[in-house]
Structure 1
Amino acid sequence: MLRKLATLPEAARLEIGKAIKTSADEIVAAQKRLAPKRTGALAASIKASTGGNVPKYASVGLTGSGQAGDPDLTVVISAGNTDVRYAHLVEFGTAPHENKGLFEGSQHPGAKPAPFFYPVYRAYRKRVKSRITRATRKSARAAAAS
């Protein structure tokens, strides 16, 4: 796959990269709209990072470390940062549990999940794939014509 990507003409790479960036921006905007707005910090922490760079302490949307993709055509969408370390707890909820630390022994009732990240991803997945396919075909036709 990487060898095939390396042989793409520069115009095709730009066209595909533009489609990926447009799709990522669209997904991030939808996730921000859907995120709970208690303080707004969670919605503000949702970002699309190019080149596979992920903010420190991002907790939702991570893919495995050591991505072997093309940095110019890689976008990672994540939620959470050094100030917002609870994105996964909001997305998936928490089970009832006994507290530790300052309130040791007290019972936490748990929190219901408020999914904002993966439902948007699943809803936009087909649209993103179609957009990238169209960009690939368009650039291939342009390369074949010249």
Structure 2
Amino acid sequence: MVKGQQEFRQFMRKTLPDAVKNAARQAMEEGAERIVQRMRMLVPKDEGELLASIGWTWGKPPEGAMEIGDLKSPERGLRIVIYAGNSTTMVTNKRGIKFQNALIQEFGTKDRKANPFFYTVYRSQRRAVKSLITRRINKAIKALNDG
């Protein structure tokens, strides 16, 4: 048996994954917050409840929310969901059918112009956030190797 092999295996099983997972988690949270803040800047200002409903969470979004995008790290079991809308942002049309106001704002209707605030930001920031996550993971691995 090579000297230090057992310590190296223990390091690879415990230290490296925890450090990398923590770095990925922090980067994902930072990226999600960055996306949410930009979305809030684009939502129509007269839509206060919708503005307040935009957010992110680990796992599933709140009841009634529209899940539009997520940041995943399946190999680490991490998933952040970015959402808009909740039960307070539901609207009813003339026929009594309920709709999520976030969808109406994002895509519009035949009588209402679209005010895209969600997909445009998500698409424009997705690559930058993935890059941030990768950089943070690489930095964590490098810090472990240097230590």
TM-score (norm 2): 0.74
2:84 paired residue number? 79
Cα-to-partner distance string for 1:43-67 (whole Å, 9 max, x where unaligned): 10101011x121111125167xxx9
2:6 paired residue number? none
**Partner Cα distance (1:145, 1:136) in 2:** 14
Q: Which has the higher strand share?
A: 2
**Partner Cα distance (1:68, 1:15) in 2:** 12
1:91–1:115 Cα contact (<8 Å) kept: yes
Cα-to-partner distance string for 1:90-123 (whole Å, 9 max, x where unaligned): 100112xxxxxxxxxxxxxx11111000111111
Structure showing greater radius of gyration is 2
SS in 2 for 1:77: strand
2:20–2:140 Cα contact (<8 Å) kept: yes
1:89–1:113 Cα contact (<8 Å) kept: yes
> Are 2:109 and 1:94 aligned?
yes
2:142 paired residue number? 141
1:15–1:135 Cα contact (<8 Å) kept: yes
Q: Which ranges of 4 or more aligned residues in structure 1 deviate by more than 4 Å?
A: 67-72
**Partner Cα distance (1:118, 1:48) in 2:** 14
**1:72 Cα deviation from its structure 2 partner:** 6.3
1:35–1:43 Cα contact (<8 Å) kept: yes
2:26 paired residue number? 18
Paired amino acid for 1:79: A
How large is the Cα RMSD of the aligned pairs? 2.4
1:112 paired residue number? 113
Cα gap change, 1:69 to 1:55, in 2 (>3 Å): farther
Q: Which has the higher helix share?
A: 2
Runs (5+) with no aligned partner, structure 1? 1-5, 96-109
Runs (5+) with no aligned partner, structure 2? 1-12, 91-100
> Are 2:56 and 1:55 aligned?
no
Paired amino acid for 2:118: F
